Chain A
Amino acid sequence: MATTYLDITNEVLRELNELPLTSANFASAIGLQQFVKDAINKSIFDIANEEPQLPFLSAGLSGATDPFYGNVTVATTAGTRWYLLKAGSSSLADDYGSVDWDDFYLTTINVSGETAPYVSKGLKFINLEDWKRYYRDSENEDDANGQAYGEPVRVIKSPDSRKFGLSPIPDKEYNVHFYAFNKPTKLTAYSDTIVFPEQYSNVITSRARYYVWQFKESPQQAAFALEDHKKAMRHMKSNLMNPTPRVMTDDRRYF
Chain B
Amino acid sequence: MARSQPYTVACAGGLVKSANSIDLLRTPGVARELRNFEVSIEGGYRRINGFTKFGGASATRPTGSASTINGVIPYADGVIAVAGNAIYFSQDGITWLQVNRISSVGGDNYTAFTGQAIATRTGQGQAQFALFESAGTDYGEIMIADESEDIFSFRMEGTGALNTRTFYAKEIAPNGANATVKYITSHDHHLIAAGVEDNETTVYYSVHNDPNNFSGAGAGAITISDTIVGIRGFRADLIVFCENSIHKLINIDDSQTVAIVSIAENVGCLSGYSIQEIGGDLVFLAPDGIRTVAGTARIGDVELGTVSKAIQPLLNDIARSVDNYVITSMVHRDKSQYRLFYTDTTLDVAQQRGIIGTLRPNGFEWSETRGIEVTGIGTAFNEIGVEEHYHGSTTGYVYVHDTGNSFDGSNILARFGTPDYDYGDLGTLKTLHYLKVSASAEGVVTPDVQVRFDYGSTDTPQPPNLFDLGTIDPPSLFGEAIFGTNVFGGAENPLIRIPLQGSGYSNNFTIISDDSNAPYTINGFYIDFIPSGRR
Contacts and interface: CB of A to CB of B under 8 A. Distances in A.
Interface of A: 13-14, 16-20, 22, 25, 29-33, 215-218, 220-221
Contact of A18 (B458, B459, B502, B534): B502
A220 B2 CA distance: 8
A218 B2 contact: yes
A18 B503 contact: yes
A20 B532 CA distance: 18
A29 B459 CA distance: 9
A222 to B, nearest CB: 10
B interface SS class? loop
Nearest to B458: A30
Contact of A30 (B429, B432, B459, B502): B459
A33 B533 contact: no
A24 B533 CA distance: 29
Contacts of B500: 17
B532 A218 contact: yes
Contacts of B502: 17-19
A218 B459 CA distance: 23
A94 B502 CA distance: 38
B227 to A, nearest CB: 58
A17 B467 CA distance: 14
B2 A32 contact: no
B2 A221 contact: yes
Interface of B: 1-2, 429, 431-433, 458-464, 500-503, 530, 532-535
B534 A33 contact: no
Given A17-B431, A17-B500, A17-B501, A29 B461 contact: yes
A217 B1 contact: no
B460 A18 contact: no
Contacts of A25: 464
Given A19-B502, A20-B501, A215-B533, A33 B433 contact: no
A215 B460 contact: no
Contacts of A31: 459-461
A227 to B, nearest CB: 16
B459 A217 contact: no
Nearest to A16: B431
Given A215-B535, A216-B533, A217-B532, A19 B461 contact: yes
Contact of B429 (A14, A216, A220): A216
A229 B429 CA distance: 25
A78 to B, nearest CB: 62
Nearest to B451: A19
The winner among B459, B463, B502 for most chain A CB atoms within 10 A is B502
Contact of B503 (A30, A32, A220): A32
A18 B464 contact: no
A221 B531 CA distance: 12
Given A17-B1, A17-B500, A218 B431 contact: no
Contacts of B432: 17
Nearest 6 interchain pairs by C-beta: A217-B533, A216-B532, A216-B533, A19-B502, A33-B461, A19-B461
Contacts of A22: 464
Nearest to A25: B464
B2 A18 contact: no
24 contacts: A17-B1, A17-B431, A17-B433, A17-B500, A17-B502, A17-B503, A18-B431, A18-B501, A18-B502, A18-B503, A19-B461, A19-B501, A30-B458, A30-B460, A32-B503, A215-B535, A216-B431, A216-B533, A216-B535, A217-B532, A217-B534, A218-B2, A218-B533, A221-B1
B433 A18 contact: no
Nearest to B2: A218
